[in-house]
Structure 1
């Protein structure tokens, strides 16, 4: 990667990797040090790609940095949002229409959650939160009185609703997402590596949804590195990573060191 940066693809997740995990997902913002490191790398490597469950445009919006380079300033950046169903590039988002099951889930989720005796969050209130991603919906329990207990109560009913609507569930850090089938971070990364003719790859992530991207790095047959942005909430990913760092700050430091190594080669 350092000897042949023009053939390298740097892939990263957003939440928990570039941005700290926060109680309200709408409050997530990129670590400015990570954005600055990616801005350096964008001019040095073959490609920088963010692969996230967030809508692609949201990742860009939450990647703004006052007084410094934000994600939109990363040269040649591509954001594969909604697990690869959306693509942001050169300021434009392209995506297929959402499947019809999403509208049903959107209508039924509040009723389902209430029927389970779980309060929904209001402004500043504790409870279960629904994040509408347009083509997917995520149910967060981080602000519930008993986050793990609420997650256990929700797991089976949400899986049933997903199956009835032709969708799938994606578990994460105190969140269950109902989203379209047929795409995951691994498939998205597979396609991107082929598109760019990559000769090496690094992928950094923090959660169970990033396992598919780790697997894509390994099956690519390319010189590759998997990086875990470690947390106390998700411990299994670290055992499968080549490199473990401490959260988004650790990711930022690693990316900055990589940029420095390429610049100094």
Structure 2
């Protein structure tokens, strides 16, 4: 690990490092029903130890910050933790949530979803209301890949009618407002905190933008893929590939232990 320039920079100057992390598939195992997800049991303690040494620990997620906190008991106690939820549209820090007004296109698209799903003839899909976004999950469908393919075009049309964009992911298509993604959110945060190095760990296609932000920052940086058989594009771009959330937490624990030494 020490032979990777970004890791070396973080180890030499932890006080200048920002540790950025996706939530689902990175800090929390992927499950068939997103509502039943739960953070890795070791995550709060490892992040708390990291938070005592680095400039900031930031969770950058498509979920609302309140949901990440609900699914991650103990996260609120991590020193200096910032949650950039809804791809950066919402921010939780020091117990306070800040956000612009919700976009009107999301509830309109949500209201049309039942008829669209019925006309597409797909069964077994679930709709997740994220407040500022709405996600259609196909993981529980009899043919998850087939359902995903059948829904791409209809959902793209629905999104376009209401000024939204479609964010693809692991057996999910999410309709959300344009103008923000994980890369934009991470880049703004790195500049705000005057970071001197950065690590970002993710598992899904939406995390590619954050990988790009690490490269574009010009900082010593390292990208980590929480590997899975479902998404390979991230592994091809990552500096380090680990085995799911277990591997992510093992890597972060190794960093925290090095800081303590």
Please give the per-residue CA displacement for 1:55-98, whole angstroms capped at 9, x wherever unaligned.
Answer: 0110011001xxxxx21111010000000000011112111112
Question: What SS does the aligned partner of 1:252 have?
Answer: helix
Shift of 1:100: 1.2
1:1-265 superposed matches below 5 A: 1-64=10-73, 70-119=74-123, 127-264=124-261
- In 2, Cα distance between the equivalents of 1:250 and 1:46? 23
Shift of 1:248: 0.2
- In 1, Cα distance between the equivalents of 2:113 and 2:48? 39
RMSD over aligned Cα, in angstroms? 0.6
Shift of 1:115: 1.0
**Runs of 4 or more consecutive aligned structure 1 residues displaced over 4 Å after TM superposition:** none
Q: How many matched pairs?
A: 252
- In 2, Cα distance between the equivalents of 1:159 and 1:208? 17
CA contact (8 A) 1:189 1:213 kept: yes
- In 1, Cα distance between the equivalents of 2:44 and 2:210? 21
- In 2, Cα distance between the equivalents of 1:181 and 1:239? 26
- In 2, Cα distance between the equivalents of 1:94 and 1:258? 31
- In 2, Cα distance between the equivalents of 1:57 and 1:163? 28
CA contact (8 A) 1:34 1:248 kept: no
Shift of 1:138: 0.1
- In 2, Cα distance between the equivalents of 1:100 and 1:60? 25
Shift of 1:34: 2.1
Question: What SS does the aligned partner of 1:130 have?
Answer: strand
TM-score (norm 1): 0.94
- In 2, Cα distance between the equivalents of 1:178 and 1:97? 17
Please give the per-residue CA displacement for 1:98-139, whole angstroms capped at 9, x wherever unaligned.
Answer: 2111121110001100111123xxxxxxx1000000010000
CA contact (8 A) 1:34 1:249 kept: no
Shift of 1:19: 0.1
